[in-house]
Amino acid sequence: MIKQCRFYFIGILLLIACTSSLASQNLEFDITGLTDDPLKNALKHLQILVKTAGTLTPTLINQLYQAGPQEVQESIKPFGFFKSTITHKQLTHEGNNWVAHYTINPSEPLRITNINIKIAGPGNQNLKINKTLVHLPIAPGQIFNVPDYNKTKNKLLDSAERQGYIKAKISNDKILIDLSAYTCIIDLTLDTGTRYYFGPTFFNPNPLSDKFLQRYVSYQQGEPFSSQKLLNLQTALSDSGYFESVGVEPQIEQTKIYQVPIKVTVTPNKRRRYQFGLGYGTITGPRITTGILWRWVNSSGDKINVNVNWSKVNQNVSAQYIIPAHNPATDQYALNAAIYDLNPQHGHALVRKIGVSYISQIERWQRNLSLSYVWETFKIDSDTGTQEARMVLPNLTYTWLSTDKFFNLKHGARVTFALEGAYKNLASTVSFIQGQAQFKTVQSFWQNNRIVLRGNLGYTIIDDSNKLPLSERFYTGGPMSIRGYNEQGIGPGRYITVGSVEYQRRVIGNWYGAVFYDVGNAFNDFTDYTSNLKRGTGVGIVWLSPIGDVSLYVAKALNKKGQPISVDISLGPEL
């Protein structure tokens, strides 16, 4: 009895071992002679063949290996290879891992001999649709390629839809291939169908007036229908800040006299948005930034934005009353008021400022044209008396911003150009012209690496720099400029140059280690410019948190003997 049980037990073990061996068989493919999309498609077809075959056994693997050449040859025909041959094949294995090797000669690809594309229907004379025929993905003499052929059809349909022919279709779709003559003729007919037009646009009930929201609509009722303009409307409403979500739907089924009503469904955002940022440095001390934005204060979409910034060297309160212009998606007016208490290492100033500005979006650039009245009392150091300046200050600023996302960005850049000045005979106590250019970019590469570059150049034209108000002089130093120095501890000056390079390497998750080098100065003349440049370097840790970058830097000022190592912590968006 015991002996019989032993045989049963041994048999069960053998069965388990065999089952385990069969279940763990693996088949991979190695193809020589193909590259790029043909290779990817061939491997994709072979992998599908394996997945649909069931549990792999040595016998089944051999069958799949034998079927492989035909599968490869069929998979590359959409890319123009109709005369391919398999010149070598081999099946190898090590244990349960099998590899099917194929060497293929794709031979001469099939080229397009002729293309006949016709536009039929009411839109056959439309200039923009006909213009599409000049720039298609396919052309006579090119290698026949099914993906490009499909792109051609989609481009034709898209061009018709953009012109209001929303029911356009490809009525004739033929590819005539003669393998004996090795020719390829393509016949396509785009039937535009009837042209449709925009009907009325309706908004669901929300806190903003319909009259105001209609100003976001860039098309007119009766204008040819365009899906791109609907996408533009959705983007403009989403970017306005008023809404949490925006849906734009053409009501095709309710079309009357070929006019399509547009239904816009919006979900309002929270009326107020609070902002908060903080930082701390062993040299700069604590820094706090708070703000509140009323996204709308009335049904006309007016906004109020109030910000408070506090640090050892700069305390300010600013407020803006923002009024949407005729095109609220791109233009707005603002009434501005601010008071600053500036305490850099050299000097002190109390600044009061009121003004108006016109802000407009020109493609990727934001333009800010402002006119301010500034009243400032200031002193440069304890050896000089208090001075007073009054200025009527026009300012023109252009800003270009490009980011893949607001937080945890991988690629982004901000560039700013500003020009301002005052004239003594126009209600000002001083005459000067000042220009400034700033940039910052963040670029990721090789998955786990980021580079952060920063620069600042400024130049002031003035007869007597002693009369230049403190708020118009350049300072640098601190965590946002040259690290290792006091915040705004370098300067003041008529000119400024700052450059910074920082390399970040992912350690784990969204945590990065960083090394950096900052250099620059704020100065009044270019004598011994290079020898007077201030330099700072150090290391840091950066966490890309869901609410912005949290960074800790340890910096050393290289030009200042006895300068202690500084530590700075900050929180906020990268750009």
CATH code of the domain containing 21: 3.10.20.310
DSSP category for residue 256: B
C-alpha 217 chain-centroid distance = 25
Helix (H, G, I), strand (E, B) or coil at 250: strand
Contact 445, 418 (CB under 8 A): no
Contact 440, 453 (CB under 8 A): yes
Q: Phi/psi at 15 (nearest 5 deg)?
A: -65, -45
Helix (H, G, I), strand (E, B) or coil at 483: coil
- Name the H helices within 217-349: 227-239
| H or E, element range at 17 | helix 2-23
Q: Domain check: are 374 and 389 in the same one?
A: yes
Q: What strand order describes the sheet that includes 85-94?
A: 26-32, 97-105, 85-94
Cβ neighbours for 446, distance < 8 A, ≥ 6 positions apart? none
Extract the tokens encoding 511.
């945590």
Q: Domain check: are 430 and 539 in the same one?
A: yes
CATH number where 448 lies: 2.40.160.50
Contact 190, 170 (CB under 8 A): yes
* Angle, in degrees to the nearest 10, between helices 36-51 and 58-75: 150
With 0-12 CB in 10 A as exposed, 13-18 as middle and 19+ as buried, what is 166? Answer: buried
Task: Give the span between the Cα atoms of 530 and 523, in whole angstroms.
Answer: 11
Cβ neighbours for 479, distance < 8 A, ≥ 6 positions apart? 279, 281, 284, 487, 553, 568, 570
Q: Domain check: are 280 and 148 in the same one?
A: no
Task: Give the span between the Cα atoms of 327 and 520, in whole angstroms.
Answer: 42
Q: Domain check: are 379 and 254 in the same one?
A: no
Cβ neighbours for 80, distance < 8 A, ≥ 6 positions apart? 109, 110, 111, 143, 144, 145
Q: Domain check: are 232 and 354 in the same one?
A: no
Q: Domain check: are 507 and 567 in the same one?
A: yes
Among candidate residues 229, 154, 141, 124, the one with its CA nearest the CA of residue 183: 141
Q: Domain check: are 343 and 487 in the same one?
A: yes
Domain of residue 501 covers 272-572
Q: Rounded to a whole number, what is the distance in angstroms from the first to the last CA of the chain? A: 81
**Domain stops at, among 268, 297, 321:** 268
**Domain stops at, among 191, 209, 240:** 191
Task: Give the span between the Cα atoms of 356 and 68, in whole angstroms.
Answer: 73
Q: Domain check: are 448 and 556 in the same one?
A: yes
Task: Give the span between the Cα atoms of 344 and 219, in whole angstroms.
Answer: 52
Identity of the residue numbered 466: N
Encode the chain (575 residues) as per-residue pLDDT tens digits: 444 444 444 444 444 444 444 456 899 999 999 999 999 999 999 999 999 988 889 999 999 999 999 999 999 999 999 999 999 999 998 888 999 999 999 999 999 999 999 999 999 999 999 999 998 999 999 999 999 999 999 999 999 999 999 999 999 999 999 999 999 999 999 999 999 999 999 999 999 999 999 999 999 999 999 989 999 999 999 999 999 999 999 998 888 889 999 999 999 999 999 988 777 766 667 888 899 999 999 999 999 999 999 988 889 999 999 999 999 999 999 999 999 999 888 889 999 999 999 999 998 899 999 999 999 999 987 667 899 999 999 999 999 998 877 777 889 999 999 999 999 989 999 999 999 999 999 999 998 999 999 999 999 999 998 899 999 999 999 888 999 998 888 989 999 999 999 999 999 999 999 999 999 999 998 887 887 899 999 999 999 988 788 999 999 999 877 777 889 888 877 77
Contact 112, 106 (CB under 8 A): no
Q: Domain check: are 206 and 138 in the same one?
A: no
Number of domains in the chain: 4
Contact 222, 160 (CB under 8 A): no
**Domain stops at, among 51, 78, 105:** 105
Contact 504, 451 (CB under 8 A): yes
Contact 505, 516 (CB under 8 A): no
Task: Give the span between the Cα atoms of 232 and 234, in whole angstroms.
Answer: 5
Extract the tokens encoding 318.
């600013």
Q: What strand order describes the sheet that includes 114-120?
A: 114-120, 183-191, 169-178
Q: Domain check: are 214 and 149 in the same one?
A: no
Extract the tokens encoding 201.
């646009």
- Taking only Cα atoms into account, the Rg of the chain, rounded to an integer number of angstroms, comes to 34
Q: Domain check: are 239 and 385 in the same one?
A: no
Strands 490-493 and 495-508: unpaired
Q: Domain check: are 120 and 236 in the same one?
A: no
